[in-house]
Amino acid sequence: MNAKSGKGKPDKSPSPERQIIAENRKAKHRFEVLEQLECGIILVGSEVKSLREHRLSLDEAYVRVIKDELWLVGADIAEYRQATIWNHDPKRPRKLLVHKRQKSKLAGRAREKGLTLVPLQASFNERGIVKILVAVCRGMKLHDKRQAIKSAEAKRHISRALRRK
């Protein structure tokens, strides 16, 4: 019974949350994230089964614009053991799916000097579809990294001081 209305309809259970497959942790240290966009990806069956086992590495991956299409290059999806002869190539480039307007905007930003497209995260959405979070990034200089480390240490110091009280 619904608590608010008092009618006989049962409460809708909340939809399951996103299931993160893999993250590119190094990207947040190496790059300054300017803009993010969630993209779909074209996969074959053995790749999806391998992703369900969290067998994905985004460490060396990047996104390229080839013939006005976005491609995920360098992502390593390990072979699925039970697929035998129908297995996929682990390092093959994979096409990303985005709307035309978003694609042209990302491609334009990627052509700017010093900017690159980097995959930050791969996850299953609520419907079980694989989504890739792509970011327009600028490489961090050494002084930027030092500043980031300084601010992180300051936050840690403040939180420790607040916990002591």
* Nearest alpha carbon to residue 43 among 90, 104, 83: 90
CA angle 48, 103, 98 (to 5 degrees): 30
Q: Quote the number of domains for the chain.
A: 1
Q: In this structure, is residue 155 part of a structural domain?
A: no
Report pLDDT digits (tens) over 40-89.
999 888 888 888 999 898 988 999 988 888 999 999 888 888 877 778 77
**Cα 5 to Cα 17: distance, rounded to the nearest angstrom:** 26
Report pLDDT digits (tens) over 125-142.
999 899 999 999 888 777
**Cα 131 to Cα 113: distance, rounded to the nearest angstrom:** 27
Q: In this structure, is residue 147 part of a structural domain?
A: no
**Domain housing 69:** 19-139
* Nearest alpha carbon to residue 51 among 131, 110, 107: 131
The residue type of 124 is F
What is the CATH classification number for the domain harbouring 107?
2.40.280.10
Q: What predicted TM-score, i.e. pTM, was given to this entire model? A: 0.73
